């Protein structure tokens, strides 16, 4: 027991020293060290954003949309520059993590308000980002109600975006963060959806591009192609799994169920589900070789 404790202590001291040295190396302009910290910071921020339901792509600076990885890089550099050269104080990773999230959140707020300005000025790229992200979220919203975002439900989604767009352009709507923006959208989607249930004839089956609202479907720009290609690879990879494997992964990753719960629901043993999940992931990862998954 004591040996174990001592072992853990040695590992944690080694890790602290590792991080300390990494920061020192970044100070000496070591690019690979910076890249490593950027990768890990990216993971931390994505986890934080998922938990806090923040949209990482809804940011802009100096009239352009900003990649969140740039913001992470800026925060890392600020942090490294703040550190003194004294060798006595070990720089702790925990302190860095707290700094990273706090600074990122602060900057994100101001970058989000710039992003809102872009939307107000009818910036196509910004609206496309919003459209695609809402599309993804709406698919989840419909799934929770035992439905798919398909040709039947898509017009409802498009109608809701149109309402959001016209209200946003006409009215003085203010959104402090992406969460409140999405809340507004989902309220609209909910109302539109119930309208379509009450009177199915009201449901418009006209695609967006055939109306005056041609903003999102105009030019097949770079963003669209990149978005489509990436989605295709991921969806095709998932489609290659058999029904059972898909169900296990859907339960585990999307519905966030525990393996034990999936096992109970399907009348199998937990171990059996664990093996199925493992095989499904292995298959999926093989298909991912088509795209670069290293960050």
**Where on the chain is the footprint of another protein (CB under 8 A)?**
11-12, 15-16, 18-19, 22, 36-37, 39-40, 43-44, 46-47, 50-51, 93-94, 97, 135-136, 139-151, 154, 182-183, 186-187, 190, 194, 197-198, 228, 231-232, 234-240, 243, 246, 249-250, 252-254, 256, 281, 284-285, 288, 291, 293-295
- Rank residues 46 and 114 by Cβ distance to another protein and give the closer one: 46
Measured from the CB atom, the residue of 59 and 248 that comes closer to another protein is: 248
Find the helix packing angle between 124-143 and 178-198, rounded to 10°.
60
The rounded radius of gyration (Å) of the Cα atoms in the chain is: 23
Inter-residue contact 115 to 65 (CB < 8 Å): yes
H/E stretch holding 65 reads strand 64-65
Asked whether the beta carbons of 203 and 155 are under 8 A apart, the reply is yes
In whole angstroms, the minimum distance from the beta carbon of 280 to another protein comes to 9
Helix, strand, coil % over all residues of the chain, rounded to 5: 75, 0, 25
Q: In the bound complex, what is the minimum distance in angstroms from residue 94's beta carbon to another protein? A: 6
Minimum separation from the CB atom of position 63 to another protein (A): 29
Reduced to 3 states (helix: H, G, I; strand: E, B; else coil), residue 240 is: coil
Query: Closer CB to another protein, residue 63 or residue 148?
Result: 148
The residue (of 172 and 256) whose beta carbon lies closer to another protein is 256
């Amino acid at each position: 027991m004591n040996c174990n404790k001592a072992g853990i202590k040695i590992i944690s001291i080694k890790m602290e020293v590792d991080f300390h040295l990494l920061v020192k190396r970044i100070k000496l302009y070591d690019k690979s060290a910076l890249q490593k910290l950027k990768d890990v910071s990216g993971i931390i921020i994505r986890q934080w954003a998922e938990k806090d339901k923040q949209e990482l792509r809804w940011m802009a600076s100096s009239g352009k949309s900003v990649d969140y990885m740039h913001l992470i890089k800026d925060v890392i550099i600020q942090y490294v520059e703040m550190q003194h050269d004294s060798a006595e104080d070990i720089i702790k990773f925990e302190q860095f993590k707290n700094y990273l999230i706090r600074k990122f959140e602060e900057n994100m707020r101001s970058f989000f308000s710039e992003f809102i300005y872009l939307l107000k000025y009818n910036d196509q790229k910004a609206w496309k980002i919003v459209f695609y992200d809402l599309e993804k979220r709406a698919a989840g919203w419909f799934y929770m109600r035992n439905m798919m975002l398909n040709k039947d439900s898509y017009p409802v989604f498009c109608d809701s975006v149109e309402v959001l767009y016209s209200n946003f352009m006409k009215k003085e709507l203010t959104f402090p963060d992406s969460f409140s923006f999405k809340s507004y959208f989902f309220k609209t989607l909910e109302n539109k959806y119930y309208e379509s249930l009450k009177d199915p004839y009201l449901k418009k089956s006209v695609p967006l591009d055939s109306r005056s609202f041609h903003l999102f479907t105009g030019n097949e720009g770079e963003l669209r192609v990149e978005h489509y290609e990436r989605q295709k690879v991921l969806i095709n990879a998932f489609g290659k799994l058999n029904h059972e494997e898909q169900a296990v992964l859907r339960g585990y990753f999307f519905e966030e169920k525990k393996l034990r719960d999936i096992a109970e629901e399907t009348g199998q043993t937990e171990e059996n589900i664990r093996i199925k999940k493992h095989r499904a992931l292995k298959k999926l990862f093989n298909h991912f070789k088509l795209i670069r998954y290293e960050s």
